[in-house]
Structure 1
Amino acid sequence: MAQAIITDSKLRLVFETGINEQGKPIHKSKTYSSVKQSATADQLFTVGQAIAGLCSYPLAEINRNDSFDIVG
Structure 2
Amino acid sequence: MASYIPVQSRLNIRVQVGTDAEGKPVLANLNIRDIDPAATAEAIASVTQAIGSLLAYPVVDTYKIDTDELDTAA
Letter in 2 for 1:61: D
Task: Specify the alignment match of 2:34 in structure 1.
Answer: 34
Q: Are 1:5 and 2:5 an aligned pair? A: yes
Give the total of aligned pairs: 72
1:41-69 deviation line (CA, Å, top 9, x unaligned)? 00010000100100000110111000011
Q: Secondary structure at the match of 1:45?
A: helix
Provide structure 1 residue ranges, at least 5 long, that are not aligned to the other structure: none
Q: How high is the TM-score relative to the length of structure 2?
A: 0.91
Provide structure 2 residue ranges, at least 5 long, that are not aligned to the other structure: none
- CA shift, 1:71, in A, is 1.8
Q: How high is the TM-score relative to the length of structure 1?
A: 0.93
- CA shift, 1:22, in A, is 2.5
- CA shift, 1:39, in A, is 1.1
Cα root mean square deviation, aligned: 0.9
Task: Specify the alignment match of 2:25 in structure 1.
Answer: 25
Post-superposition, which runs of at least 4 consecutive aligned residues in structure 1 deviate over 2 A?
none
